[in-house]
Amino acid sequence: MSDAAVLLVHADSDREYLRAPGEELQTDLGVLTVPEAPRPGETIETHLGETFAVRRLRGPDLFNHFERTGAPMMPRDIGLVIGHTGAQSGDRVLDAGTGTGVLSGYLGRLGAEVTTYERDAEFAEVARGNMALAGVADRVDVRTGDVLEDLEDLAGGEFDLLTLDTADAAAVVERAPDLLTNGGYCAVYAPFVEDARRAEEAARGAGLLGVETLETIQRELHVDDRGTRPSTAGVGHTGYLTFGRRG
């Protein structure tokens, strides 16, 4: 994870930018060049005298600052995938579809080796740039194409984790026993209940253990002088998560 981008945080506002070492930042606050070896906590001035603090990159920054090619998976759902599957350093992960690549970036940064499929060539190219920013280009292999067409080659790959965020996830889940190592997990993210049901049925049909589909509602607690209450704004649905494990 060398050469990851750093977060540049403006001292006098809440503006933040993600830039790689050696890159230039050009905004109305002036121009600055990120040092080749930026240290967290140091400050850098633009030619207009505006100060930016350097922060080490972390997962939520990927969500907030990656170039987007669609609605990326949110930190909460990425966290749930990690918590329910125990994604860990050294894991071999097969992922489809990449999208913006926030999940792949998180997994790379916790030390997993990720092979991820994205059908859209332009999206894949953006995701590759995002992986470079996240400092995980050497750990995350973004492949342009349809994972379904490569399943024969991938079978026997002994993946520890299979993460799927595609409309036809169920078709991959059917093959999970060929793809996963013993005790390896499969996780499917599906916005619609019909797709979640298909994933659950495919996981059961494939003989995975501990199959369950979870729905998560998260609300912010609002705290002020009058008292404490859940936010009146509400937090909406993101997706169902279906999990199963190879026996």
Instruction: Give yes or no for residue 200 binding a second copy (CB under 8 A).
Output: yes
Does residue 191 touch a second copy according to CB under 8 A? yes
Binds a second copy (CB under 8 A): choice among 106, 117, 123, 159: 106
Contact 76, 218 (CB under 8 A): yes
Closest contact distance (angstroms) between CB of 237 and a second copy is 4
3-class SS of residue 115: strand
Query: Which two three-digit tokens encode residue 61?
Result: 């920054």
In terms of phi and psi (left: phi > 0; alpha: psi -120 to 50; beta: otherwise), the region of 84 is alpha
- Residues 137-166 interacting with a second copy (rule: CB under 8 A): 160
Segment interacting with a second copy, rule: CB under 8 A, options 17-25, 123-131, 169-177, 197-205: 197-205
Question: SS3 of 125, please?
Answer: helix
Segment 44 to 103, residues that bind a second copy, using CB under 8 A: 53-56, 58-62, 74-90
What does the buried/exposed string (b/e) look like for 5-38 if buried means 16 or more CB atoms within 10 Å of the residue's CB?
Answer: bbbbbbeeeeeebbbbbebebeeebeebebeeeb
Closest contact distance (angstroms) between CB of 41 and a second copy is: 4
Q: Looking only at residues 207 through 246 of this chain, which bind a second copy when binding is defined by CB under 8 A?
A: 209, 212-221, 223, 226-238, 240
Q: What is the DSSP letter of 97?
A: -
- Give yes or no for a contact between 72 and 61, defined as CB atoms under 8 angstroms apart: no
Minimum CB distance to a second copy smaller for 172 or for 190 = 190
185 scored as a contact of a second copy (CB under 8 A):
yes
- For the bound state, the minimum distance from the C-beta of residue 218 to a second copy, rounded and expressed in Å, comes to 5
Q: In the numeric block, which tokens belong to residue 187? A: 């996780």
Total residues contacting a second copy by CB under 8 A comes to: 77
